[in-house]
């Protein structure tokens, strides 16, 4: 575990900052994930729906408030338009954030905590992206944000982490100063493909 002794206020502030970082990473990778045709279609359909509502806003205002008076209608139209924009933006960010979330992220965080990989502020590393290794397709690469932890924390607790996740960790590779790449295979996949414990990844 890293860091100095902290009081509750410090821990709260540090964890809020970590949550903010996680949120922005999810947005970033959520946008990248729009390469997926299904996700792209969902976003396009949502945008079209918002445009339709925007075009119908005058009729909606008249129907809801039953007002034909110009000044009131203009005020209501202005307020309603602002609400549409804000709500549409919030929902859009929510959709992108969901697309950028990784199902295995919570599992990794809990596994890291169980393995002793967390800071004094109880910050565990979290998963921000995962993809296949180009040289060995059965190997998955997890891109992990260290979140105040270190590569050495992973190396010291590697066996515990493997046990908690139910995977074989073949290699840990730093990516900048705040992220690492973790090369893994599940035990089932490794035995099925007769893979050695530590395959050569070509550097």
In sequence order, what are the residues at sequence separation of 6 or more whose Cβ sits closer than 8 angstroms to the Cβ of residue 99? Answer: 29, 30, 33, 34, 39
User: Can you name the residues that pair with 127 across neighbouring β-strands?
Assistant: 144
CB atoms within 10 A of CB 134: 10
pTM of the model: 0.65
**Closest listed residue to residue 54, CA positions, set 85, 79, 75, 76:** 85
Q: Residue 50 corresponds to which tokens in the numbers above?
A: 């918002």
Give me the DSSP letters along 97-147.
Answer: HHHT--THHHHHHHHHHHHT---TT-PPPEEEEEEE-SS-TTSEEEEEE-T
Q: What is the pLDDT of residues 147-201, one digit of tens each?
A: 889 999 999 999 999 998 888 999 999 988 889 999 998 765 545 545 545 544 4
Give the domain ranges of the chain.
36-99, 102-192
């Amino acid at each position: 575990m890293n860091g100095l002794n902290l009081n509750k206020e410090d821990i709260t502030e540090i964890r809020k900052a970590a949550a903010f970082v996680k949120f922005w990473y999810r947005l970033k990778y959520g946008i990248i994930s729009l390469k997926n045709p299904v996700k792209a279609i969902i976003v396009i359909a949502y945008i079209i729906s918002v445009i339709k509502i925007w075009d119908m806003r005058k009729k909606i205002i008249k129907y809801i408030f039953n007002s034909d008076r110009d000044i009131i209608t203009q005020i209501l139209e202005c307020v309603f338009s602002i609400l549409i924009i804000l709500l549409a933006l919030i929902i859009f960010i929510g959709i992108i954030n969901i697309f950028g979330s990784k199902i295995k992220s919570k599992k990794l965080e809990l596994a890291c905590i169980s393995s002793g990989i967390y800071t004094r502020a109880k910050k565990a590393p979290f998963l921000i992206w995962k993809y296949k290794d180009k040289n060995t397709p059965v190997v998955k690469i997890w891109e992990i944000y260290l979140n105040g932890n270190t590569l050495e924390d992973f190396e010291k607790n590697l066996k515990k982490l493997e046990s908690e996740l139910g995977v074989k960790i073949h290699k840990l590779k730093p990516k900048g100063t705040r992220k690492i790449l973790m090369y893994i295979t599940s035990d089932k996949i490794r035995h099925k493909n007769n893979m050695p414990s530590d395959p050569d990844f070509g550097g």
